[in-house]
Amino acid sequence: MAPKFVVTILLLVGGVGYLAVGGFQSAKSYYVTVDEMYAKLDRLAGQKMKVAGVVSENSIAREDGKLKFSLERNGKVLPVEYVGSDPVPDMFNAGVEAVVAGFYRDPVFEADHIQAKCASKYEAEYARGDGTAPAQSD
């Protein structure tokens, strides 16, 4: 094989590998609850995160084109500002389990994505009180 051909192939393989690793690193995010985030904040600072919690009562407000609200879990409260461009889910209300994705910028979590969990999927779990998901059949 010609040396130029081998070098070209090596450069292409190396470039694709570099892009794949870089893409994986930028897409990586941690999934934590509100209380876990505060407990691990020293390690998670500056990292992309997904944070789960319950939307606090009377915390939803629209100010300066941003949606502001709080998530809570186990006595910890996280102020959130939604700065994303996607529409807010219809099920997003106080008392609903939600997951936000973004970065913690002390003292506020800047979310670029909101996901609200459908309460009806979890009613059986809460009714049983054992914290296990209901069995589903296909």
pTM across the whole model: 0.67
Q: Give φ, ψ of 48 to 5 degrees.
A: -70, 135
Q: Percent of the chain scored above 70 by pLDDT? A: 78
Instruction: State yes or no: pLDDT of 138 exceeds 70.
Output: no
Taking the domains of the chain in order of start, what are their residue ranges? 26-128
3-state secondary structure of 93: coil
- Of 24-28, 55-59, 108-112, the poorest mean pLDDT is in 24-28
Superfamily grouping for domain 26-128: Nucleic acid-binding proteins (2.40.50.140)
Tell me: the pLDDT tens digits for 64-101? Answer: 888 999 999 999 999 999 998 899 999 999 999 999 99
Residues sharing a CB contact under 8 Å with residue 94, sequence separation 6 or more, in sequence order: 55, 56, 57, 58, 59, 60
